[in-house]
Each structure stands twice: as structure tokens, then as C-alpha cells.
Amino acid sequence: MDAKRLILALVLLVAAVAGGLVLIRAQNPPTPQGAAPADTPQISAPAESPKAVKDPSADSAPLEETNPPPAEPQTISGAPANQPYPGADAPDQPPDQPDSSPQITAQSPTESHEPMVQWYGTGGTGPEEITIGSTDPGSGFKLLCRLTNVGAAMENAALADYFTTVADKRLYQENPAAYDTARSAEPNKYLGRYTLCSPVTVNDRPVGALAIGEVSVRILENEESIASVKVDLSGRRWRLAPADNNQPNTAAFFYTLYYGQTPSDETAVLRIYKSYTVNPKDYTIDISVQLVNLSQHDLSVTFDQIGPTGLHKEDPRMDNRRAAYGRFKPADDVVEVKFENRKRLMKQMSPNQRIPLSQADDTGPVVWAGATNKYFAMLMYLKPEERQAQNDDVGVVAESWHGGFYIQSAQRKDEPVYLTGVVVGAAGAIKLSSTQERQVNFSVYAGPKDRSIFTDKDNPLFKPIYHRLNFLSTIEFGGCFCTMSWLSLNVMWLLKVIAEVTFDNYGLAIIVLVLLVRLCLHPLTKKSQVSMMKMQKLQPQIQKLREKYADDKDTLNKEMMRVYKEQGATPLLGCLPMLLQMPILIALYTGINASVELRHAAFLPVWITDLAAPDALFSWSKPLPLIGTSFNLLPILLCVVMFLQTKTNPQMTGQTAASSQQSAQQAKMMKYMMPGMMLVFFYPAASGLTLYFMASTAAGLLDQWAVRRHIRRQEQIQAAIETTVEMPGKAARGHRPKKPKDPFKTGL
């Protein structure tokens, strides 16, 4: 009897299992073999909330709900697009199988007044990459952007007119076809085009540039939250929208969020579209983020738009990579540019720490942020919602998006770096009514820090928004207090004009520029030299006064001033012309140092082939102390020219101001120390700067020789005029001594 009951129970159990499987099969029919799953989503109609149709090919993961919005809100925005995204007419394809992405910790019902629901996200089926733009000179594009569906991010942006090494540029200019072959045969030697940005690591996870980070969504009913979720989309796979033949330079991705009380009751809530657009003859990347409410409820949304992830080091001497941002000053109606040094940031910030820029000061809102190095910049601007078709009458502040920009520490290949970004809705979430769409637009400048692009209206790459956002101030001229940016910018303009005359040979243009400046400063130099020579002649007399009035300083100063006045010499006149020249010479130095035109620009065919790097006559692999891995001839020539200048300068040889043996020894010591210091300072410097300084020193030496030669000639002429010759016979009546009057004939 017990055996019969056992057999009957087993039969009933098998029947129940089989019936359950049949029921599940009926509710979830398998996809026919060979049928292509639809991957163009459809925005749900307002009349009903779409249900989740299971699609095993799609990438999704359950997202457990969370209650609070982001703790550190930030902003990003842009102008809305006028055309719908491709693929907006296909039905939804939410997935059934979760991916391996980490889930967000759920809150229990006791911690929130919202009902417990399960969230799902649907994206792409696997990693996908796409490129827009081109590096082909014939295409007219300035950028080639490599995009990935992981986070809807950018892998990098290659610049069509700039190369990684000078060897790449020279071979490409000689033979483009041979360059492509050499790139494949020797990838370690020829590194290709120069690229901006690269993925970094945040919280031990890779993050791509311009990715969408954390998204916070709240479902509202009567202004109260009934369900919410926060999910980081920077590591999730988005779906790639089908290409649009009408927009060949655009690539778009989308991601959809669902929720439901049970897996079979999933409801589409929010779809996020993100598109990139690159246009010919333009260094700007247009990014749009469209938020589509697919539910029958109001939504409250914030999202983190990650910005540029840092650039490569350019200067061989120092790391001048910066985090840059523009703060709008309403009182002056200008955008003020500020920088944060990378090394200082790394010392101040703990790993993965985020610093909101909106809390830095209260002078005005931040409107753009990005990364710069010596020659290039990648700057992300959040456009106002009202700005349509580049309407310049609209202000630059995206007030409606309540954005908050930030800087965050990160890692890249064991090197501490940083990234910038903006949280849209940081100071007030974006509200979406049922079935409403809103679009946030960004403009990213990715290119060289070229003065003409930012200011010259005749330049085809110029845009008025560059000038309005003050991108020109991202060109750094050093921290010297006497540096005048306007003067350095004019030097850069003049250098470019001269280069057009010298057939784009910037080395020759630097020499011509130095000679022109020295020619203009010749009157001041002449006055300085004349005053110095007068002071030199007075030194014996001044020395006697110092010995005579050694214990009476007041009398000594009065007597010295009397001698100077009688001889027509002014001590200050020897220094004043030099002080007046200093701003111009510093402007030459800083302007040449910051000119992107000098990067990979050659002076001679086999030597000084890159004016932005040391001349490196020959090199070796193992670095030597104070020398490095190359023999640089140009700094040694500069040292020789500097030594010749000190030998011809009486002040450096102890012939003028040497009032004692000790001062004479100090002067002789400086004669050797100055050239040695210049050698140490300029040995690792860019050859363009060394060439400028050597040309300036040689021109100064020639100018000094010419002035002194002229002064000696004038002295000889003056001495010949003043020479008295004794002539035979009686002297002229006017020069004869008068005879004394006879006292006896004098009347009483």
C-alpha cells in the first residue's frame, strides 16, 4: 500500500512539473531559428505602458532599486536636435537574461515608502565599436572618433593634421602610401596620428571618455516617489542605433530601463539616446543626450556625463597637463579660465575622490570643463536648453539643466590622472511628464590650442562660440608675473606671418623675428651701452671718492652724484633700457614656447627636426646623469656664444664696478657660471627655445660690438676737434695777454 502511494505521488509530481514547463513554454515562445532579432526600439504609445518582451540576445541586468538621488550632483547640457533618432519605429526588445554587471543594493520596504520593485536595463548584445570622421586629408575632416557601445563612450579622437612622433610626420609627408605600409610593419616606431583622451580606471573599473556614468531615476505620482533606481551605465553595453544615410557623420546608442513587481510585469520607464556628430573642417564633437519617458507617470532624472579623461604629456622638461574650466562672471559678462595642476590635484585628492567645481567659489557658475596639455585641449561645454542653431544672443549658462561640474581622480597604467565631468540635474533634477522627451546637448572641442582658431574670424576653423567661451585663455604662457598675454599672443601672430615668408620654416622665422625685435630695440640698447661706457670711465674717480669718504656715506653719495652730473652720466640710464626690453624678450620666449606650430616643425633636414623637442644630434638607450639619452649640440653652442658675450662685457670681466679684489673675483666667477647655468637649463629644453635664446644672444653680441665701435669713433672725432696745436709767430689779438696799465698815467 505504501509503495502504491509512493508511485502515485511520483506520477503526480512528474505531471505537475511537465504541466508547468508547458505553461512556461506557451508564455515565452522561442525565437525561430535564423530570425534576426529587432534592435531598433519603439517609444511606447501614450495609451498604454509597454510590457517587456523577452529577448535572450539582448544584454540586460536586474537593477535593484535605490531611494536617494546622487550625493554630489553635477550638470551637463546641450541644444536639442531637430531630427528623430534612427530606429524609433521598431518595437521594444527588453532582454530576459541578466548580464554579469554588478547590481545596485536594494532598499527594504521599511527603509522607504516606495514598493519593492525589480529594475532591468536593456542594452547591446556584446562589445561594438564604430568610427565617425576621417584622417584622410581629402575628406576634409579634422577628427576620427572611435566610439564604443560600452558606456556609449569614446575610445579616442585622432587628429588628422597631427602625428604622435616626428618620424610619423616626415614619412607621411614624403610618401603617404609608404607610411601606411610602415605603420603595419613597424608599429613600435611609427605610432600613427596624435590621439586625445583614453580610458581610465575608476574604482577598479575601466571608464571611457565622454561616457554616461550614474543615472538616477524616480517615478513620481502626485509629486511623490513611488519607485527609484540608481545605476552606473559607464560599464554597461548600449545598443548601437542603425546608421542613418542622411547623417553619415553621426553615430547613436540607446539604453532602456524597465521595472516591475514581478519579472513578467516589466514596464518600460526611460530610454536614453546618445549621439555623436563630427563635421568636416571642424574640431568640435557635438553630443546629444535625449531622455524619453516611456511610462504613464512623471519622472525625475539626473545623469552623470563624464568628460575628457586627461591628455598625454607633451613638454619634455615638465608635466604641464592641467584640468581647465571656465567660470562665467555675470558682472563682467566674460568667462574666466582657471587651471588645476595635475600634480597638485594628485597630492590633494584621495583615490577616486570627486571635487565639485561649483563649490570652489561664488563668483559664478562653471560653463565648461576639460583637460589641456602644452599644445592640445579637450573641452566639454554644456549648452543652454534655449540655444538653437548657435543662437549667439542666448547666454552661455545652461541654467535650466542645473548642472554641476567636477574633477575626479583616476588611474591610467599605474599613473594617477584625473577626469572631468558634469552631473545634469545636480541642483534640481530634470522633470519629464508622461511620454515627454527632453534633450541635453554638449559641444566638445578636441584639437590644438591655436590662437588663430580661437580668435581669427578669417580662419575657416574659427567659431564665435570659441571666442565667447574664452578658449584662448587655455593657451598658457607660464607663471612669470611680468608675462603679458596680449604681447605673447601678438608675438605668436607675428611668428606665423614671418613663417609664411620663410616657406613655413619656423626655425628661420624665429631667427628673423629675433633680428627684427633687436633692430627695433637698438635705440634703447645704444643708450644703455653709452651710459655703461661713461660709468666705466668714471670708475677710477669714483674709486678715489670711496677711499676718501669711506667713513662718511652721506658725503660720498653727494660727491658721486656731483661727479655723475658734471660728466653727464646717469647710473639708472644703464639699467632702464634693459628693464624696458625685458617684457618684450619674455613675450618672445613665452610666445615661442606656447606655439603649437613649432611642434614637429623642422629647421634643418638632418638636424633640429623638431623645434618642440631637444635637437638630439644622436641618442642612446641608457640615460646618463644630467644628460639623458641624447647628445644635444644646440645648448653647447649657446653656452659658447654666452661665454663670448661675457668676455666682451666689462661688467662681467671686473673692469668697471670692481671696487675691490673680491668684487673682481666675483665678476670673473660669473663669467664662467652664467654660461654653465644656461647649459644646464637649456640642455633638456625644446630646440626652438634654445635657438631663440642663442639667436638673441648672438644678435645682442653683434649689437653691443656695433654700438661700442660707434662710440669709440665718436670719441676719436671729439678728441681730434679738441686738440690744440702751437703755431709760430704772434698769437691772435684775442688770445694775447693784456699789458698792464701805467700807474703813473692813471688818473686819480
Distances (CA, A) of 137 to 143, 173, 447, 728, 734: 10, 12, 16, 90, 90
Q: Is the pLDDT of residue 69 over 70?
A: no
Instruction: Identify the burial level of 485 via C-beta atoms within 10 angstroms of its C-beta, where 0-12 means exposed, 13-18 middle and 19 or more buried.
Output: middle
Residue 556's pLDDT is: 85
**Confidence band (pLDDT; 50, 70, 90) for 609?**
very high
Q: Is the pLDDT of residue 48 over 60?
A: no
Q: What DSSP letter does each residue of 196-208 carry, written as one string? A: E---EEETTEEE-
pLDDT tens digits, 511-520: 999 999 888 8
**Confidence band (pLDDT; 50, 70, 90) for 370?**
very high
Do residues 92 and 53 touch, judged by C-beta distance below 8 A?
A: yes
pLDDT tens digits, 199-250: 999 988 999 999 999 999 999 998 898 889 999 999 999 999 887 777 889 9
pLDDT tens digits, 479-492: 665 668 888 899 89
Name the more confident of 24 and 309.
Answer: 309
Nearest partner of 302 among 238, 398, 232, judged by Cα: 232
Q: Is the pLDDT of residue 302 over 60?
A: yes
Residue positions counted in the chain: 748
CATH 2.70.98 fits 60-128+201-474, yes or no: yes
- Best-predicted range by mean pLDDT (16-25, 233-242, 649-658, 699-708): 233-242
Q: What share of the chain is helix, strand, coil (3-state, %, to 5)?
A: 35, 25, 40
Distances (CA, A) of 9 to 13, 275, 493: 6, 60, 94
Residue 545's pLDDT is: 85
Q: What is the mean pLDDT of residues 87-115?
A: 38
Name the more confident of 194 and 28.
Answer: 194
Strands 334-341 and 322-329: antiparallel
| CA 267 – CA 52 distance, rounded (Å) | 6
| CA 374 – CA 198 distance, rounded (Å) | 17
704's CB contacts (< 8 A; 6+ apart) are 525, 529, 645, 648, 649
Q: Is the pLDDT of residue 65 over 70?
A: no
Name the more confident of 288 and 66.
Answer: 288
Cell numbers standing for residue 157: 579622437
Residue 589's pLDDT is: 86
Nearest partner of 243 among 201, 276, 279, 288, judged by Cα: 276
Do residues 556 and 549 touch, judged by C-beta distance below 8 A?
A: yes
Cell 527609484 belongs to residue: 228
Q: What is the mean pLDDT of residues 43-50?
A: 33
pLDDT tens digits, 661-685: 666 676 677 777 888 888 988 998 8
Q: Is the pLDDT of residue 108 over 50?
A: no
Q: What is the mean pLDDT of residues 275-284?
A: 94
| CA 126 – CA 128 distance, rounded (Å) | 6
| CA 519 – CA 459 distance, rounded (Å) | 31
| CA 77 – CA 384 distance, rounded (Å) | 6
Residue 104's pLDDT is: 37
Nearest partner of 101 among 269, 241, 252, 255, judged by Cα: 255
Residue 4's pLDDT is: 52
Q: Is the pLDDT of residue 660 over 60?
A: no
Instruction: Identify the burial level of 47 via C-beta atoms within 10 angstroms of its C-beta, where 0-12 means exposed, 13-18 middle and 19 or more buried.
Output: exposed
| CA 463 – CA 472 distance, rounded (Å) | 12
Residue 726's pLDDT is: 55
Q: What percent of the chain has pLDDT over 70?
A: 73
Nearest partner of 325 among 310, 335, 337, judged by Cα: 337
With both helix axes pointing from N to C terminus, report the angle between 553-567 and 522-548 in degrees, rounded to the nearest 10: 140
Residue 465's pLDDT is: 94
Residue 76's pLDDT is: 26
Q: Which residues of the chain are in CATH 2.70.98 domains?
A: 60-128+201-474
Alpha carbon distance, N-terminus to C-terminus of the chain: 185
**Confidence band (pLDDT; 50, 70, 90) for 437?**
very high
Residue 742's pLDDT is: 45
Residue 629's pLDDT is: 87
Residue 502's pLDDT is: 94
With both helix axes pointing from N to C terminus, report the angle between 687-722 and 633-648 in degrees, rounded to the nearest 10: 20
Q: Which range is least confidently modeled, 201-210, 370-379, 528-537?
A: 528-537
Instruction: Identify the burial level of 708 via C-beta atoms within 10 angstroms of its C-beta, where 0-12 means exposed, 13-18 middle and 19 or more buried.
Output: middle
Residue 552's pLDDT is: 83
Q: Is the pLDDT of residue 634 over 80?
A: yes
| Partner residues linked to 40 by β-bridges | none
Residue 170's pLDDT is: 93
Q: Is the pLDDT of residue 51 over 70?
A: no
Q: Is the pLDDT of residue 190 over 60?
A: yes
Q: What is the mean pLDDT of residues 406-434?
A: 89
Do residues 291 and 272 touch, judged by C-beta distance below 8 A?
A: yes
pLDDT tens digits, 392-408: 445 788 888 989 999 99
Provide the 8-state DSSP code for 89.
B
pLDDT tens digits, 448-469: 999 999 999 999 999 999 999 9
Name the more confident of 17 and 546.
Answer: 546
Q: Is the pLDDT of residue 493 over 70?
A: yes
379's CB contacts (< 8 A; 6+ apart) are 308, 324, 326, 368, 369, 370, 372, 444, 445, 469, 471, 474
Q: Is the pLDDT of residue 27 over 50?
A: no
Q: What is the mean pLDDT of residues 416-433?
A: 91
Q: Which range is least confidently modeled, 82-96, 298-312, 425-439?
A: 82-96
Provide the 8-state DSSP code for 209.
B
Residue 572's pLDDT is: 67
Do residues 109 and 115 touch, judged by C-beta distance below 8 A?
A: yes
Residue 740's pLDDT is: 53
| Partner residues linked to 412 by β-bridges | 415
pLDDT tens digits, 688-743: 999 999 999 898 888 888 887 887 887 788 778 865 555 565 555 555 555 555 44
Mean pLDDT of the chain: 78
| CA 194 – CA 172 distance, rounded (Å) | 13
Residue 748's pLDDT is: 41
Name the more confident of 658 and 455.
Answer: 455
Q: Which range is least confidently modeled, 73-87, 392-406, 488-502, 597-611?
A: 73-87
Residue 98's pLDDT is: 38
Q: What DSSP letter does each residue of 93-117 carry, written as one string? A: ---SSB-SPPPPPPPPGGG-SSPP-
Provide the 8-state DSSP code for 148.
E
Provide the 8-state DSSP code for 91.
P
Do residues 276 and 154 touch, judged by C-beta distance below 8 A?
A: yes
Q: What is the mean pLDDT of residues 581-606?
A: 88
Residue 78's pLDDT is: 29
